[in-house]
Structure 1
């Protein structure tokens, strides 16, 4: 009994030591992780895409392409499921682009036409509000806020940013390349996941003792269930939030309800902060039509985000991954602080995995 306690204390001391070492070298570890992520980004993207596609493929194999009367060979069933999954993803992308692109073009045209009037309105508003302050009024009149002059200056600034534009094109090309390579890797993983699992089984059994393999598979099984639940929950939450936003905008008579609702829903795939990104886009779009409406939209979004952050997200995603509401927020804040967007995306499922493992260990 004493030896067992000593062994547990020894493990605890090692665990605390590792945590302290990580905290002390946090900057170096973060930089190293960022470098590793950038180098292996196509592979990591491929694994993530494979995980998402695999959820659809498993559903299609078990629910759609299962017929007791007609027996389909496993290889053919897998191929058909992958093809159907890709078609569903492409159809979803086309549907979203049809909802967003036409209205986006329209809003850009309206903005370009109304921009001069918008600038003049702001100038007059400032002059009328500060008319009692003579010095301020004089300074405003000296500014000579001519809309055409402002546009020309903006064009000059944009033209001078050639280097930045080239960098932007390079980034787009890099993203496109990673996406293509990631998709190819994902399709290979999904089409031959049983074969890959068998290969890794053989490798692990050759180089690792069975006790470590069992523990590793135990952790991987929990992580697999958690990440799967997280992805399903995140998509469910995005659909709920996008629908609520669209319905709210329609009821309140805001412009571009389907476009803004779709964007808010899409960006909310990024936990918590994503809805604000979509909201910023919606604010800019509404600003082209009616600045007052744009201000009211911000109020609407704040209310919606409070409902989403405090009610919908912890209930839908938190419950799906088995993590209490408080730890959901902590995981997102800490993950975002350490690794930015990647931390926001993966912080929650990783925290949920760790929480389940610790919970099982404590309740033994």
Structure 2
């Protein structure tokens, strides 16, 4: 019972008291957690935006300034020691280019992203407008055809009409229920509208703050990386620091590969649908192709969500074409899953199919669409770490068993030699 032991006991007592208070006042703890998340959510958005923009920015910087950075001894995204930088004799132009490399690359990346969003908007918005206009003309005709089909069925099957006529509906009670809902729910609808407007405005403000924060991160990410490493080395043992950095590098590789591969795979799938639908002269080719390409960013379930919406749009034009689209969808989906996806995304995620389904389900239930996208690479990181830990345990166990077996073999040999000596 020395001074160090007393310190540990005091820490355990304080931890036990805090845990007891937290369990007994769990509502206060949860409110504090929600309040804290609301405070830092713009910075969480900024980190996410920075990570997404970092992938194309690396390519742009390497393409535009890779040669200059190599001449100055500064490879893109490789931290060079100060003494190595001083050993490189570079001119004023090279130094100026090195200073401008990151801001110019960031501006070019933002312009490319905005240009892509603008291009998609210019393609989708007119197509969506014409689709809505055409649907307003075709839905009445579709409903009229449904009515004619129902009347024809009732003429052929009069027993259906008798069963429907036997159903009694209290129209007075239904009218009173609707009136009470409109009278009492008007205030709720108004409050919901005001709350939705406030939420949209707050979300827009948080997004703008996050984008600004992301730009600061991208402009000085190497410096932030060095500072984070220094903090880790100050408070953690060297072995824990190396393990943390190793996990960080692995996570970055998996997330970047998943993000790049998923975007490229969605683009290829959308182009496949556009070309095929154009060849077979199906309606709404551009709108459906963009919709399926966008929803394909959601693994496993995304393309099927786009398929349901596409089937509804084509059904308004022709049920026969809708059946043809379904056949075409399943054919292209099989081609994409068996040919395109393995070559584009490959095994970069390294997660078996069953765990991909589990990750998508859990992520969707917890965080919606963003959870579906986030949980697959996150699950891949956890799966890789757990697999390495299990393999290490098995290797250590097999090595220990091998050592025990060797000792037992040597003991048996010694017994045999002793028995032989006694016999002699």
| Shorter-chain TM-score range | 0.7 to 0.9
Contact 1:42 1:178 in 2 (8 A): yes
Counterpart of 1:266?
Answer: 294
User: Which of 307, 312, 321 is the equivalent residue of 1:293?
Assistant: 321
When structure 1 is superposed on structure 2, of 296-305 and 189-198 the one drifting more is 296-305
Are the aligned partners of 1:241 and 1:308 in contact in 2 as well (CA < 8 Å)?
Answer: yes
Q: CA deviation at 1:218?
A: 1.1
Q: Secondary structure at the match of 1:73?
A: helix
SS of 1:271's partner is coil
Deviation at 1:164, TM superposition (A): 4.6
**C-alpha spacing 1:311/1:104, structure 2 compared with 1 (3 Å):** same
Instruction: Please give the residue correspondences for 1:132-281 in structure 2 after superposition, counting only pairs within 5 Å.
Output: 132-134=156-158, 136-137=160-161, 162-281=190-309
Write the deviation string for residues 97-129 of structure 1: whole angstroms up to 9, x where unpaired: 122111100011111222222221111111112
What is the distance in 1 between the residues matched to 2:39 and 2:376?
Answer: 23
**Structure 1 pair 175/251, CA: closer, same or farther in 2 (3 Å)?**
farther
Equivalent pairs, count: 321
The secondary structure found in structure 2 opposite 1:65 is helix
Q: Is the 8 A contact 1:99 1:262 kept in 2?
A: no
1:295 Cα shift?
4.5
Q: Which runs of 5+ in 2 are unaligned?
A: 1-26, 72-92, 168-177, 396-424
Structure 1 gaps, min length 5: 1-27, 143-152
* Number of the residue aligned with 2:48: 48
TM-score by length of 1: 0.76
Q: 1:255, 1:329 → 2: CA distance?
A: 33
| Deviation, structure 1 residue 86 | 0.4
Q: Give the C-alpha shift of residue 189 in structure 1.
A: 0.8
Structure 1 residue 247, shift from structure 2 partner: 1.8
Render the CA deviation track for 1:17-62: whole Å, top value 9, x for unaligned. xxxxxxxxxxx9xx99x95766643222211111111111111111
CA distances 1:63-110 after superposition (whole Å, capped 9, x unpaired): 223345973533311000000000110111111112211110001111
Residue 84 of structure 1 corresponds to which residue in structure 2?
Answer: 108
Q: 1:105 aligns with which of 104, 124, 129?
A: 129
Contact 1:222 1:356 in 2 (8 A): no
Residue 7 of structure 1: aligned partner = none
Change (3 A) 1:281 1:175: farther
> Once superposed, what is the RMSD of the aligned Cα atoms?
3.3
Cα deviation, 1:221-261, whole Å, max 9, x if unaligned, reads: 11011101111111111112111111221222211212211
* Pairing of 1:57-72 with structure 2 (within 5 A): 57-68=57-68, 71=94, 72=96
- Residue aligned with 1:350, SS: helix
The aligned residue for residue 130 of structure 1 is 154
Higher RCO structure (Cα 8 Å, ≥6 apart): 1
